[in-house]
Amino acid sequence: MSDDNKSLGDDLNDMIGDAKEGAKKAADKVKEETKEFAAEAKETASEFKEGLDSVTGSENKKILAGILAIVLGSFGVHKFILGYNKEGIILLAINLIGIATSCLGIGVFISMAAGIIGLIEGIMYLTKSDEEFYNTYQAGKKPWF
């Protein structure tokens, strides 16, 4: 019986050794695949950044900011695109307060006011020439209207 226990112990040790070896191979494979995935993610991120830089370049900020002001103006997205973070937060806060108080009735008008501000600014952005837009909103840093 002692020989049977010894043989079972040897078999168990062999299985544990095989399991350790298999786990090490799996860990190495996962590590290699993770490195490949990270390299692909970095490449994709750099491509995305290049595309974003081309969209938000000075000549295209006018169109992007104008369209976003018309569509999402009440959320202040166009202000963030132009780098006016404080003004964007103000518009966003006004809209969120309007949404929160919409059950009282007055909140609808508050949200509409933020939307109208965005609409007016979007129309103003799109009707200006590229040079005038750049001088006024990007170089001159005029945050409102």
Per domain, the residue ranges of the chain are 1-55, 58-139
Contact indicator for 82, 142 with CB cutoff of 8 Å: no
Joined together, the tokens standing for residue 39 give 């390299």
DSSP single-letter state for residue 75 = G
Q: How far apart are CA 6 and CA 17, in angstroms?
A: 16
pTM of the model: 0.55
Q: How much is the pLDDT for 4?
A: 64
When mean pLDDT is compared across 38-42, 48-52, 82-86, the lowest value belongs to 48-52
Outline where the chain has alpha helix (H).
2-55, 58-72, 77-82, 85-100, 106-127, 130-133
Reported as a single tens digit per residue, the pLDDT across 92-114 is: 999 988 888 888 888 888 888 88
How far, in Å, CA of 96 to CA of 111, rounded? 8
